[in-house]
Structures are given as structure tokens and as C-alpha cells.
Amino acid sequence: MRTTAYQAFIFQHTVDLEIYLKENYQLDFEKAGKKRICTQDPDLQLGTGVNYENTWIRPNNTTAESNSIGFKPTYGNILTWEALENSCSLTEAVTYVKLKSQNLGLYKSKYLLRLERFARMVTDRMTIGRSSQVTDYLESRSIDYPALDKDFAIGSPGTFETLISFFSSTSLSKEQIRSILLDLFIVRRSGDPKYLPFKLSVVVPVYSKTKDFLGFHGRYVSEKYKRKYYNTGWLRQDVTSTLFGEEKSSIHEAIRHKKQLILTKGIFDFFACYQSGFHQVLATLNRGISSEQFEITKKYPVDSIVVGFTAAKERESILGLMQQSLNKVDLSIIDDTRDIDTAVSEGVKLSILISGAKNDLQASEDGNRAAKLKKKKKEKDALTEMGQTYLVSIADLVNLIKTSKKSPRKMKNILLEQAKTRNPNKSDGGYVRFPKTFVTEPILDGFGAELRTLLHLLIKTKDGQRPINYTQSALRGDLELSQAVLIAHLKKLKRSGYLMWKSDIRIEVLKAKRKRTVVFYYYPSTIKFG
């Protein structure tokens, strides 16, 4: 999920504040010396220096009114402006800015343009400073890095001495150099995972489809690290909605011409395809594929998608997503237990791997379940990001369930009341998060006493993606319900899409006989979003 800090940075540098205020608030600005002063409100001016570019500023006075959640700034960006204007949190302000800026023209601040220019310089330096361990590793993976450098700048941080020397030769001050390195997610010997690690690794810069620099994706050369791959910067938040290579016109042209998309998981499989002439390839940089990435692939004008995932869960997940999709694209999965680059380096022709990919595959129940969970998580994260969710204390919910067995209306009224309070910025610890859409009509009115069963299971999973296991007798005991009533509740919740489960039959051999127990795994976090 994107943080508010991320949104603030993006909005500050990709939305022209002067045009935004003119279009949405009818505010005009005129130049006065080096400042731009608002003609309707002389106390309001736009930032002009590097540190205040594309921001608003007011005189620092103590009489400034704060909004209902305590904001009282005298300067800020678009996000803080909307938080003040709408008396809401920064998280909720995201909704207003997205809505009001969607019709504005493309814009990049001078700072962002300079930062992107430096990003290209930095990646060029990293390709020059590759150590022998890194080049040996690339050659062991059969990666033709000299040929790929032009398009993908395969490099290594190695040490940052060459970068420091490079920037020191410019007219920039030490503070400016440090600021640039921080914004490019490069710092010396930092333990923060947001920044490039001070360890030997292969790295590539990653850009969004609109060519915005997001950060670096890397793979440690040494096998001693438990986590082989890492992402830095904004890519840590955007990796599930980014496809590596999507900004390349050559890739788009190849996909359009061949009407085919090859989907890989990692950069080495990606490079194995690209250097073999199969330019119609994108990589998820992810474990399998997210529902956001799947939605992106659906929009490509192709007749077939060839998937190069090897893990069973990853294959099941994409099959489940395709099963739920209305997209009629043929999906096929490469029939090899090895990664693509490994198979190719061991002598298998890539054309044979692709042409022999299996299609007409059916998603299993587990695959469909995993796909649904991914979709729900995506919708939940999107609503959370825009402040369209609310939190309810677990302690309050537990008490509500205990006292409302015969009063479904009581449960509904309390949920409605909780949704009116603004608490999206509280820690999730001790709370369950609900979408505001959950309490809108006619959704909440569609529930009866089964709402109590759903809330109980939701608390047990702590609103997570992992299921809670129950025998029916244990669940009946906790809820004090008869078997017939409980079964009626579960059937209605499953039929309406608010609950998923799978059963597991356990056979326990006792001294005299075998005991058969049926355990149900419930996924109440599938509460509907959107």
C-alpha cells in the first residue's frame, strides 16, 4: 500500500500547484519580484526556491486555524492544502487530489526532472564500476550484459566511492549531494532497506510506464543471504503495480506486432528472453503476479500470454485470476520445473519452451481462492490508501458479539456509528479495518443474525489473509448456535461472497477405533470491498 509520504512526493512533483488551485479554487497568482502572490488572498504565495518548489506558503502566524484533526501548517503541498480545506486526514486528502487533478495536463517539477537526470547518470556510473565478482556472476547466468546495458543499465553498487567522486567534481554542495543520493535511494552503509545495500549485487533501475524513476531492483551475488532479491525506494510500495520493461517502446512494439506477451517473474528470465530476440516480455519482480499486475496484462492487445513461473502456488494463482477474468486471451504455462534462464543456459531452445507451453489448464479450488484473496487485498489497499475505511476496536467488537445474539439491528447501528468517526490513522494493532462501503445501503441491511458469525470469524483472523481453522462443534460452542442455524449462516455468507472456506478431513487412529474429524479453514478477510 502506498504511504502518505509517497503520495505527497508524487503530487508535489507531478501536479502543477498553480494550475490546480486555479482550476479547482479559482485562485490567480501574479509575479512580484521572485514570488508568486495570490491576487485574491495576498497572504498566500507559491514556493519559488528549490526547497519550496511547487508548494504553498502563508505567513507564520499563531492565529492560523487548525482543522478537526489538528492540522495547523503555514506551508505545504497539495495534500496538506486539501486536508485543511476538507478538514480531513492526509490519507483522506489523497481522494480529493486524485479526483481534482485527473483532468490536468502532464507536469514534472524542475526538481523531479533534475532527479531523473541524475538517476540516469548514477546508473551509467554503476555499469562502469562493476566488480569482477558481479561480471562473473552475470556470465554464470548466461547474461549478455554488454548487449543489454544500453536498454537496461545492468550495474552494481559495489562501493559508492565512484559516485561520491563523480558528484564531488560538480559545483554541488555536500548537502545537495547528500539530498540527491537520499532521493535516489542511495546512501553509504545504510541499514535502511529503502536504500541500496552496501553489498555486492546486480542492480537495475526500475521505471514506471510513464518513465518515472521508482528505485532499484537487485539480486545479491552471494548465496549466503536468506533474501536473494530486494527493491529500494518507491519501488518497495509500487512493485505489485509495476511490470519491469513496461516503459520500453521496443517492448510495446514487439507485443503489438506478435500479439503475444511472455510473463516472467525475475530479471534473469526476462533478460534470457530479451537477448534471444523475444522482446515481447515483461517481468513482475514479484512472487508470482499480483492482481494489479494481472489487470495491467489484461489490457495488452494480445492473443496469448505465456507464463514462465515455476512454483506451483504461483501457477495456481495466475490460473485463478484468469479463471475469474472475462478476458478471452489464451493462457499457457511453460512446462519446465527450471527457471527460463537456467533451462536456456543448459541448452534448451527458448522457442521450444514457448511453443511447448501448456494451455487449456484449469484452476484448482486453491488457485481460485488465492486469486480472490489477492483481488480483495488489492481493493482493500486501494480504499485504505484513499481513506475509505474505518477501524473498530477488537475489544468493542468482542463485547458487541457477546451482547447482540438476538439483536442484529444493534450490531448494524454500532457499525454505522463507528464509520462516522475519523480514525484511519490509528495503528492496526487492536483494531479490525472495514471498508466504508460495507455499511452502505443496501449491503448492511442484507445481513441478519449471520453478521454476528462473520464478525466473530473476522476477529479470529485479525483481519489477515491467513485462515482460522475451526471444527463446526467448536464454532457452534463459541457462538452458542445450533448446528442448523450455524450452517444456514455459513451458506448465506459463502453464497453472497463474504466468506470462503475449505474443509480438511483428519483421521486420528485411536486404540479401539479411528476418529474422523472435519476441520474448516475460514477466510473472513474476504469481506467485500469496492
For the stretch 283-340, pLDDT in tens is 999 888 888 898 899 889 898 899 988 888 888 888 888 877 756 778 888 888 888 9
Write out residues in the chain with pLDDT < 70, as ranges: 1, 48-51, 60-72, 158-160, 326-327, 360-363, 422-429, 441, 463-465, 506-515, 530
From residue 226, alpha-carbon distances to 220, 223, 230, 233, 237 in Å are 10, 8, 11, 21, 21
* The dihedral sign for the CA sequence 57, 234, 120, 101: negative
Pairing of strands 468-470, 431-435: unpaired
Q: What would be the CATH architecture of the domain defined by 249-367?
A: 3-Layer(aba) Sandwich (3.40)
Q: One fold for both 4-101 and 110-241?
A: no
* pLDDT number for residue 450: 92
Give yes or no for a contact between 430 and 395, defined as CB atoms under 8 angstroms apart.
Answer: yes
Quote the CA–CA distance of 454 and 528 in Å, as a whole number: 12
pTM confidence score: 0.78
* pLDDT number for residue 61: 55
Residue with cell 531523473: 116
Cell of residue 182, nine digits:
537520499
Helix (H, G, I), strand (E, B), or coil: what is residue 282? strand
Query: Is it true that domain 110-241 has CATH number 3.90.980.10?
Result: yes
Give yes or no for a contact between 202 and 218, defined as CB atoms under 8 angstroms apart.
Answer: yes
* pLDDT number for residue 464: 66
* pLDDT number for residue 245: 95
Domain 4-101: assigned CATH number? 3.90.580.10
For the stretch 166-212, pLDDT in tens is 777 888 888 888 888 888 888 877 778 888 887 889 999 999 888 88
Please report, for the chain, the start and end positions of each structural domain, with discontinuous segments joined by +.
4-101, 110-241, 249-367, 388-526
* pLDDT number for residue 37: 92
* pLDDT number for residue 69: 53
Give yes or no for a contact between 134 and 100, defined as CB atoms under 8 angstroms apart.
Answer: no
Q: What is the DSSP letter of 231?
A: E
* pLDDT number for residue 255: 95
* pLDDT number for residue 338: 87
* pLDDT number for residue 20: 96
Strand partners of residue 29: 38
